[in-house]
Amino acid sequence: EVQLAESGGGLVQPGGSLRLSCTASGFTFRNYAMSWFRQAPGNEREGVAAIDSDGSISYADSVKGRFTISQDNAKNTLYLQMNSLKPEDTAMYYCAADVGIPFRWLLLQKEYDNWGQGTQVTVSS
């Protein structure tokens, strides 16, 4: 069974940085699209960044230039480096994985069947 576990969240001041990790097991990592989503209380879950099985990357406009998604296939781990954090980045961040997702749909929640439990990111002074 596919299992995903996020870590690395915490409290950071505006302008600060955090690096999130997602460790994966139970599937062939190289065949899956991997992504980060986030959800604040009362808001919809939104796609933040994704990397396809061929290495293609997609970012939400709100994080372009600030966040970087990467993966280490040998460690079955996905990362999200978050720089220049803003209060509006505050949310629970989730890792998701699935196969056969067209590139243009990588940041759509409904395309993913496998999710981690999330890690909280709070940006506040």
pLDDT attached to residue 100: 87
pLDDT attached to residue 28: 79
pLDDT attached to residue 77: 94
**Could you tell me the end-to-end alpha-carbon distance of the chain, in angstroms, rounded to an integer?**
40
Low-confidence residues of the chain: pLDDT under 50: none
pLDDT (tens digit per residue) in 49-65: 999 988 999 999 999 99
DSSP 62-74: TTTTTEEEEEEGG
pLDDT attached to residue 33: 94
Q: What are the structure tokens assigned to 63, written together? A: 């994080």
Distance, in Å, from the CA atom of 49 to the CA atom of 69, rounded to the nearest integer, reads 6
